[in-house]
C-alpha cells in the first residue's frame, strides 16, 4: 500500500485502539496516540530500504525516492521497480512482524502494557493491509 493509504488506515485503527485501550485519556493524549499510530503505520515501511540495500548491495532505491519526490511520495510503486518483487514482499512482511513483535515486547518488559497492545494493533493492521494488497483484495 502507499503511504497515504497506510496513514488513513493507521488513523482509523489508532483512534479505535486509543478509545478502547486508553478510555480515560484526555483530548491531547488521544490526539497524540492517533498521531503516533499514523507515524508508526507509515514509517514502519522504511525497513523496505534496508531490505533493498541487502538485496542489491547499494542504496539506489533510497536515492531514487529521496532525489525524486514524485516517485517517493506519489509513484511509490517505482521505488523498488528493479527488485525481485516476490523476494521483497516476503522479506518486508517478515521485517514488519519482527519490528512489531520486538517493539511490543520491549514495551511490555518496560511495563507499558496498554501501549504495547496499541502498537501491536496498529502494526497488525498495517501488515494485514499489506497482505490484502498483495493478494489483490485491497
| pLDDT tens-place string over residues 45-62 | 999 999 999 999 999 999
Helix, strand, coil percentages, rounded to 5, for the chain: 80, 0, 20
Distance between CA 48 and CA 14 in Å, rounded? 22
Other CB atoms within 10 A of residue 108 CB:
15
**What is the rounded average pLDDT of the residues 15-22?**
98
Cα-Cα end-to-end distance for the chain: 9
**What is the rounded average pLDDT of the residues 18-28?**
96
What is the pTM assigned to this prediction? Answer: 0.91
User: Domain of 105?
Assistant: 3-55+84-134
Rounded (5°) CA angle 135-4-115: 90
Any domain includes 74 = no
Any domain includes 36 = yes
Q: How many domains does the chain have?
A: 1
Any domain includes 64 = no
The per-residue pLDDT for range 59-109, each reduced to its tens digit, is 999 999 999 989 988 898 899 988 888 888 889 999 999 999 999 999 999
Amino acid at each position: 500500500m502507499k503511504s497515504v493509504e497506510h496513514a488513513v488506515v493507521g488513523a482509523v485503527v489508532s483512534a479505535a485502539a486509543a478509545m478502547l485501550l486508553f478510555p480515560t485519556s484526555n483530548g491531547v493524549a488521544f490526539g497524540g496516540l492517533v498521531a503516533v499510530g499514523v507515524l508508526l503505520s507509515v514509517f514502519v515501511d522504511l525497513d523496505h530500504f534496508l531490505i533493498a540495500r541487502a538485496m542489491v548491495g547499494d542504496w539506489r532505491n533510497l536515492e531514487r525516492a529521496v532525489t525524486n519526490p514524485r516517485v517517493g511520495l506519489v509513484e511509490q510503486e517505482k521505488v523498488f521497480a528493479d527488485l525481485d518483487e516476490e523476494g521483497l514482499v516476503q522479506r518486508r512482511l517478515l521485517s514488519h512482524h519482527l519490528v512489531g513483535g520486538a517493539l511490543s515486547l520491549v514495551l511490555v518488559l518496560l511495563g507499558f502494557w496498554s501501549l504495547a497492545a496499541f502498537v501491536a494493533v496498529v502494526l497488525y493492521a498495517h501488515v494485514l493491509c499489506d497482505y490484502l494488497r498483495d493478494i489483490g483484495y485491497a
